[in-house]
Amino acid sequence: MRIVAGAWRGRSLIAPPGSATRPTADRVRQALFDMLLHAPWGGRETVAGVHAFDVFAGTGAFGLEALSRGAAHATFIEHDRAALAALRVNIAACHAEDRCTILAIDALAIPPGEAASLVFLDPPYRQDLIPRAIAQLRAVRRLSPAALIIAETARDEPVPAMNPLAVRVHGAAQLSIWRET
């Protein structure tokens, strides 16, 4: 696993041992960021200079990819100890500590704080965690108006948004993208 593009292109990332963490494949992240930059609803401003959230962060691949491509700051939300250890190593390998915040908490207990305009949610599949995490983010006002939200689910899970901007299937994964209203 590696950073696909940007300032840290080609930088290797580590994942914790075992199957508790399921990192998003390089090709899926590449397809996602290509879409974010080139879709009619996207553009450079969807990533450049934004505050990104990587919820259920695991290795931090999404947040680090966003930082590599020009995001100003990334907040990583993860509670698994092995994933947190890998996440910290990956942030240090990118020398990105000054642009990152790690919240070592359950994603359903996110406290109030700065809002994000780019949010990636990649929870364990088939546990209905995306609607609950979004509800928590809304409740503590952590979503900027018109935030772009990306959710990764199993390919056969229901799309978590009523009016997605895009839904793409990549192998076992499905990406759904929508704007906060």
Per residue in 50-76, pLDDT (tens digit) is: 999 999 999 999 999 999 999 999 999
Assign domain 26-179 to its CATH superfamily: Vaccinia Virus protein VP39 (3.40.50.150)
Q: What share of the chain is helix, strand, coil (3-state, %, to 5)?
A: 30, 25, 45
pLDDT surpassing 80 at residue 24: no
The whole-number pLDDT of residue 120 equals 97
Both tokens of residue 110? 């996110």
State the pLDDT at residue 19. Answer: 60
Interatomic CA distance for residues 96 and 68, integer angstroms: 9
The structure's pTM equals: 0.93
Q: What residue segments make up the domains of the chain, in order of their start? A: 26-179
Is 51 in contact with 27 (CB distance < 8 Å)?
no
What's the pLDDT score for residue 21?
A: 62
The per-residue pLDDT of the chain, averaged, comes to 92
**CB neighbour burial string for 103-114, b if at least 16 within 10 angstroms, e if fewer:** beeebeebeeee
